[in-house]
Structures are given as C-alpha cells and as structure tokens.
Structure 1
Amino acid sequence: MFKLNNDILCLIFEELRDDEKTLYSCLSINKEFCEIIIPILWKNPWKFLKKGKERLLLNVIISHLSKESKNNLNQNNIFIDTYQRPLFNYINFCKHLNLSGIQNIIYNIYEESKIKIIENEIIKLFVNENTKFTHLYLPYQVNFQIHLIPGAESCLSEIKFLRCNASVENYILDGLTEICKSIKELEVLFEKNNNYGIVNLIKNQKNLFNVCLFDFYKRHESFNNIIENSLIKHANTMQYFKITKPPVINLLSSFVNLRVLELELNGDYRDYNYLKNVTLPFLQVLKTRFVPTSILISLIENTSGSLIDISMKSSTSNNVTNNKKIIQTIYQKCQNLMYLKLVLRNSSISELEELLIRCQYLDELYLFDYDGIDLNNLFRILTRSSPTNLFKFKFSFSQIDLDSLELFFENWKGRHPMILQFVCQTEDIEVLIEKYKSEGVIKNYNSDLVL
C-alpha cells in the first residue's frame, strides 16, 4: 500500500488547520496521523473551544502542572482534580498564549480569593525558557508582570501578533516593548483610560504591517495624534489597516503600500472630507461601514484599478443618485473585481448589469435591498449577464417570493451550479431549493446569513 511521507502529511494537515471537523475525524486513524494533528490543534487550543468545554481545557492544562505547583495550590485550599500526566506535552505545542482566554476560564470557575493563586501557577507553566510563542493576547486587566517572569525574554521574543488593551499599565507595556521587537500584527482596543506605553510599543517594532484599532470610547484628540504619528513610522510596510473611528490626521495617505483597508466611521459624523484626497494605488480590499457614499466613491476612484474585493455595509447618504454613482465608479475603476457586497436600489439594477458585463472576474456577489427590489428584473439580469465565474450569490432582501425564485432557477439551467445563501422565509421555498439541488441547478444552499 502506498504510504505518504510524513513531511507531505504535515503539509496536508497544515492546510486543514481551520477545518476542525476534518482534523478531529483524522485524529484517531492511526498513531502517525495523531502525532501530526495534535501539535496543529494545540498551536491555538482556544481556537475551537466551544462554550461549556472550558473546564475540560483547564483540566488538561492543570494536568501539566509540576508537583510543586499542585502542592502550592493544595496548601492554599485549591483542590484540583488529579489527572494522569498526558502522553503529549500539549503546552510545548502552544504558539498562541491567550492570557485573556485563561483568565476568562479561571474567573468563571474559581472564587475570587483563589483566582490570583491559580492564575500565577498556570502562567508560570506557559511562560518559561522551554516555550516559544508567536501570538500573545493580553486581558483587559493584567494582574501580573509578565515581562519579569523567569524565561519571559526567551519565551516572548518571537511574538509576531499582539492583541492588547491600551489601558494596560505602562510598566507592562514598556516591559513588552523591550522584549517584543518583531511584532508584525497588532490589535489595540481603546477604552476610557489609555496609557502612552502603547505608543512606544508601536514605534519600536521593526516590520509592522497589520494594524487594527478598535475604539469603544471617544479618545482625546491629542492622544489620537500621538498614536497616529507613531504609525506613520511604519508607513512603507503597512499592508493591512483597520480603524473604527476616522483618523484625526491624514494618516491613510502615508500608507502608500496598503493592500487592505477596513474603515468604520461608526456614527461619527464630523467633517472627514480629507478622506476624499486619500490615494491608495495598491489597494486590493476595501471594507467599509457607515461611510458616506461620496467618500467611498473617492476612495475607489483614487486607486489604480487594483481593487478585487469591495464590501460596503450601511453606507450613509445612499440616495438614488449616489447608489448609481457608486456602481458606475466600481465598473469604471475595478475591472479585476472578484467580490462585491453592496446595497442595491431598485433604480440601479441596470447599472448592476453594466457592472456584470464589465467585471468579468467577479465570482461572488452579496446584495442588500434598500427600497424593495424588482426580483424578476434582478434575477433576469443575473441570469443574462453574470460572467462565467459568477455562481456564488448572497441575498439579504426584505422579501423573496417563490415565483421569482423559481424563474431564476429555471433560467439558470445549463450554467455552473450556484452556491446560494439567504434566509429562507417559507417552507415552500425550502421545498423549491431541494428540488433544484436534486436537478443540479443549486450546488449548495445555506440559510445562515451573516450580515
């Protein structure tokens, strides 16, 4: 019997790292598969953790504690279930140190007086000279000086991803700045009280290219300026940028090599006309929310035709004229477009057809309605003018009637079977979908629509 080389198996299973079901189904086939899959699953044990299973994960972690740590817990009246030490050293496989996840599990299981003691023992288990992490997730409240734990410098020196809260104490952020100098991806959550330690951490990275800034409270403008100026240092390397409040300074224009922009203005309707002058020649992915249509049009017009993915949610001032204009701008500037998500007005259906004709690489379309859609007209155009590669459709419409849908499926016969996603509104539609699945018109249907 032909046997695959272990290196090839590793490559195959690594490609399946996000497919929990397949990995678990292969886990028990034989010892060889098990020895390859376990390290993949334990790179980030919080990734597939389901609600209600937190205690099980904690028990596995506790089973790795040293005899000394277990005795310390017992002496403090923390009596843990005793499990045989696992065959694998799961902790050594971990590359994601999720201190937020650890803290959440402990806080939900133990009483307050015992939390700090067990937290310290578990953190010492993870942070030592024998472990190397690439991803670090800090909780909102960091109750320990992680940078001073023996072995922390070696353990955290290769961190490539950091998620933290800007309210973490300065001395902790300063300590991490000294150790973590190669962070490439950074996610920062801003709260009411933010510390300037995050500024030095940003400045001291060597190759920062992926940044997400999440705002839950309004920041002082002076603090915004300092944060944004610290990011300008990384202007040439920045490829992915997400922000949930409009920048105070003309930050975006400095990101000349930006590939992905996620912009959410989140109800902040101050003057941001300066965004109309932002030029991002290499932008490939644009995702926006609550962004005025006029800004969207300018952002798209100021690219060099490299956009392949556009997702617009809840754009403001999306009147009839602007809706037509945004679609026109897309088909004039984005001939290589592959994915599109937008609000469609009834009066703009003819412009959508022009887009379908011009954007021949389009392979997925996600449409919202605004004022009720003439479904017969829309489905007729989709059947008549969709490029060959387009067969994946998502619809978020206020109403979908049975007759229009049946006509759509009938007219689609002979084309590539469609992958369809929308919320099924009646039992008759469910029966209709099953009929056309059996006839090969629909390849796959999913009613779980994520907006």
Structure 2
Amino acid sequence: MNKLNVDCLKIIFDELETNSLYSCLLVNKEWCNIIVPILWSYSWKDISASKKKFFFNTILSCLPISSKQLLSDNNIKLPSTILLKPPLFNYISFCKSPPTIKELNDIIGMMFENEFNNETKYILEQEIFKLFVDQCKDIKVLWWDNSHPLLSFPGASTCFSQLYITYIDIDFVNSNSLEDMAQICKDLKILVIDKCCQDLPGLISLIDAQRDLEEILFYSYKDRKGTCKELGKALARKVNTIKCLCLESINIIPPSFLTLFTNLKELTISNIEEYDDTSEEIKEIKQYLAILEFPYLQKLKIWLTCYKELAMLILKIKGNIFEIGAGINNKNIKDVGMLIKSIANNCQNIEKLDIYMRHTDFIHIKLLLLNCRNLKLIVVYNVYDDDNNIGDELLDILTKFSPNSLTTIAISGKWKYSFGAFERLFESYRERNSLEFFIIDNIDNAADVTAKFIHITDNHRIIIKRYIIMGVIKLTNIPTLK
C-alpha cells in the first residue's frame, strides 16, 4: 500500500475520537507531528478530566523563563520536571481558545490543591494568559470573563485580530477595554454579552467595528434593569448582517427596534424578571409581535405567554420555520390552541417544537402531528394543571399520530402516565427509528433534580429498561433499575 500523504492523514485524524488520537501519537514521528496540533486545537471542554492535568503541566512547561522566575519569586513552586524539561512543541500556538477563568481555576485547584491566596493565584492566571496572548496567532473563541488586562499583553493585536466568537461578562470588562478591542477585532460573527443593563460606549464601538456580525445574544440578571437605547441604535446599524438575535430580558433594547430586523433567521426573547402579564413592558412587546414580519425566520423562541401574537406572526412567515419554542409557566396561559393550529397549518416543515400547555390543549397536538410530518423533536411542559392524572391522553395521541420522523419526545414529569400508555408508545416505535425519551419539567425548585421523576415508579423503569435492551429506546434520562 502506498504511503498516505500528510493532507490525507490530517483529514482522517480530524474524524477520529480523542482517545484514538492519543494512541496514534506513538506510531511514528510524522503521525505525532500531525496529531499534536489537532489535540491542542480542541476547546477545553472537549478535554477529559483525566487529561486536563497533563495538559496543564504542559502549559506550565511552555512558560518563558521570566514567568517561571516571577512565579518563583511569589512562592509559586512549579514541579521540578516542568523546570528542567523543555517542551517538544510550541503547544500553545496550536490552541484556538484560551481557557475560561473557571476552567483555569478548576485546573489550578486540582494541580496545587488550592494552596494559593487570591493574590498569588491572580499572578499565576496572569502569566498563563500572557502566554496564550503572546503565542496564539489564530484564536477564534474568547471567553472574556476575567479582569486581567488581556489587551495590554504583548501580542494582543495579533492574537485577537481573527476572533470569530466572543463572550463578554460586563462585570469584568469595562468600556475602555471594549473600545480597545474594537480597534483590533473587526470580523466577529457571534457576540455574546452578559449582564448588560446600560449603554456602554465601548460596546457600541465594538459592534460598529464589525464587518459581518451575524449573531448577537444578550443575557442579564434579575436585579438589573435598564434600557439600552444607544445600543439598540448600534444594532439597527447592523440589520443587514445580523441573522440571529437573542434577548434574555425584554428591557435590553426597546421593542420598536425589532421592526428593523426583517432579515432575521433566528429570534429569541425571554424575560428573566418575575412574570407579570399586565406589565407595560409585556403589553408593548405583545403589540410589536402582532405586527412584526420576519419573512426569512427559521427559528422562533418567545418565552412569554403571548400565544395569540405568535400565531399572528407565524401566519406571515410562510412556512420557512423549522424550530419554535413558546410559553412560560404562568397560570394565565391562553390561546395555546390558536398557536398550535397556526403552526400546523403554516409550518409543515417544522422539525422542533417546545411548548407550555395544559392538558385541555392536547387535542391540538393531533392536528400538529398529522400536518407536520417532518417533526423530529417535541417538548411539552405542564402549566399549572391541578389534575395530573391525564398523561395517558398525551401519550396515546403521540402513539397514534406521530410521524416516522419524530424520534425525540420530552414530556412533563408533573403528569402521571400508566404502564400501559408507556408500553403502547414504545411498541409503536418497534418498526421505526430508535426513540430518545425524556421526562422533563419546569421545576420550581431547580436544586431538586429528582422532582421530575416523582410519578415514575419501578414498574416504569422496568419497562424503560426492557425497551432499551430491545433497541427501541436509544437514549433516556430516566434512571433504570440495575
């Protein structure tokens, strides 16, 4: 057999699992030279816990002599093997992203058993970030969640010039730093802003500087209020490029600005405040949802109880939508049937649906399943149902009318389901593709992870296990009996 050239090997190795790559490292020098850059290009979340200590040791070995001396002067003792053994590669140069501050702190704690005070830990963090900024020439992702002066480190103008995705925590990044980043970074595609509650000139400059910004996502805190009018104007100046807009608080930008984003493909709006259906903010957003037009929209997630307005919006989308999420756990829920009918009649290509409803709206699910034969996933949340003995009605509708494409079902754990209804559903999938089946909930106490399984008995678990063994159920979150 002729020897494969380097390009072919790279293509093959890119498709392999991480564990396989580690074993391939030892084949020969050529393979090692190809695989090392691939391994170090992975994001930190893709590295197993068992390998992180090895990776961190290697990072420490790449620190320049000046950094190692600074650490020593501050009583940060590195392992002797790191001080003596020079690295075989410039590993850091292969990385596409520095670690997040949480990832870095987790590893520091694991390596040094939390023996540092905050001051010395900050120095260690600083030298590691300096190393990444100096050596990485092609960083694509930046998780900007720390107070280190990243842009003042040597190499910053090169390191951050090719950023594709940036997450910014406003608690740590001030307006001046954002202004400096705007001078370096011009080609962001995705920008995520956390804890933003007021206009920041630096953030506005950063948005204005981008040539082709496609996605922007805003997250916030419950206790932070404020409307960012100037920020809304900056976004409006990018309406020709922004295709995805996510607002976790309805107060971030005035709803009137939404009328400008006619090119959107994805829209998400939620409200992290305590829900008040009669508030002026909710009334205003409902008014705009009723008149908005997004002819190219493909994904729509509105986590508010405005089903009527969503039904009216969907009428104008003309069948292009593939994913919808709607509702919130609110006792004043109404017009669910109107929304589901609008989806069933106008969104035949829909593939994913997340929706909050009462059991009185189950009947509308039948029309949805009959009309939307490309549906792949359905998630149904229970909203304030006093009667929880009606889960079988939903399961029987899914059993009788689900299209062959529907392979992921997630249903509320607040309803009760009989053993027979479980078996009927799973039997209907014996001749179809394997099913992913989940019990989920809008749990009031998020810390109680078992609350969703309150009505799942040992008999339910026995049934689940049997159909897993048969290959009918491919994946589930329901713990089975051993």
In 2 relative to 1, CA 374–249 (structure 1 residues): closer, same or farther, beyond 3 Å? closer
Cα offset for 1:250? Answer: 1.8
Report Cα offsets for 1:220-264 as digits up to 9, x if no partner.
Answer: 33xx10111111111011111111111314222222221111211
In 2 relative to 1, CA 117–348 (structure 1 residues): closer, same or farther, beyond 3 Å? closer
Matching residue of 1:156: 160
In 2 relative to 1, CA 113–54 (structure 1 residues): closer, same or farther, beyond 3 Å? farther
Cα offset for 1:6? Answer: 4.7
- Answer whether contact 2:212 2:241 (CA < 8 A) is retained: yes
Cα offset for 1:440? Answer: 4.5
Report Cα offsets for 1:95-135 as digits up to 9, x if no partner.
Answer: 11345346645885431232343333222211126632111
Match of 2:299 among 273, 285, 293: 285
Matching residue of 1:332: 345
1:442 aligns with 2:459: no
Q: Which runs of 5+ in 2 are unaligned?
A: 440-451
Q: What is the alpha-carbon distance in structure 1 between the residues aligned to residue 354 and residue 460 of structure 2? A: 24
- Answer whether contact 2:167 2:191 (CA < 8 A) is retained: yes
Matching residue of 1:94: 95
In 2 relative to 1, CA 416–43 (structure 1 residues): closer, same or farther, beyond 3 Å? closer
Cα offset for 1:198? Answer: 0.9
- Answer whether contact 2:197 2:220 (CA < 8 A) is retained: no
Q: What is the alpha-carbon distance in structure 2 between the residues aligned to residue 379 and residue 153 of structure 1? A: 57
Q: What is the alpha-carbon distance in structure 2 between the residues aligned to residue 52 and residue 194 of structure 1? A: 43
In 2 relative to 1, CA 198–166 (structure 1 residues): closer, same or farther, beyond 3 Å? farther
Please give the TM-score of this superposition, normalised by the length of structure 2: 0.81
Matching residue of 1:111: 117
For residue 70 of structure 1, give the secondary structure of its aligned residue in structure 2: helix
For residue 143 of structure 1, give the secondary structure of its aligned residue in structure 2: coil
Q: Which runs of 5+ in 1 are unaligned?
A: 17-21
- Answer whether contact 1:265 1:291 (CA < 8 A) is retained: no
For residue 134 of structure 2, give the secondary structure of its aligned residue in structure 1: coil
Higher mean displacement: 348-357 or 128-137: 128-137
In 2 relative to 1, CA 325–193 (structure 1 residues): closer, same or farther, beyond 3 Å? closer
Report Cα offsets for 1:323-362 as digits up to 9, x if no partner.
Answer: 2111111112211111112124322222111111111111
Report Cα offsets for 1:158-201 as digits up to 9, x if no partner.
Answer: 11211113352232222111111111110111257774211111
Q: What is the alpha-carbon distance in structure 2 between the residues aligned to residue 64 and residue 218 of structure 1? A: 42
* Code of the aligned partner of 2:326: M
Match of 1:134 among 140, 152, 155: 140
- Answer whether contact 1:165 1:189 (CA < 8 A) is retained: yes
Matching residue of 1:19: none
Q: What is the alpha-carbon distance in structure 2 between the residues aligned to residue 116 and residue 28 of structure 1? A: 36
Cα offset for 1:156? Answer: 1.4
Matching residue of 1:345: 358
Please give the TM-score of this superposition, normalised by the length of structure 1: 0.86
Q: What is the alpha-carbon distance in structure 1 between the residues aligned to residue 474 and residue 99 of structure 2? A: 39
- Answer whether contact 2:308 2:338 (CA < 8 A) is retained: no
Q: What is the alpha-carbon distance in structure 1 between the residues aligned to residue 317 and residue 362 of structure 2? A: 25
Percentage identity across paired residues of the two chains: 28
1:377 aligns with 2:412: no
1:367 aligns with 2:380: yes
- Answer whether contact 1:10 1:36 (CA < 8 A) is retained: yes
Matching residue of 2:458: 427
Cα offset for 1:207? Answer: 0.7
Q: CA-atom RMSD, angstroms?
A: 3.0
Cα offset for 1:445? Answer: 3.4
* Code of the aligned partner of 1:80: L
Q: How many residues align?
A: 438
1:409 aligns with 2:404: no
1:309 aligns with 2:323: yes
Cα offset for 1:432? Answer: 1.3
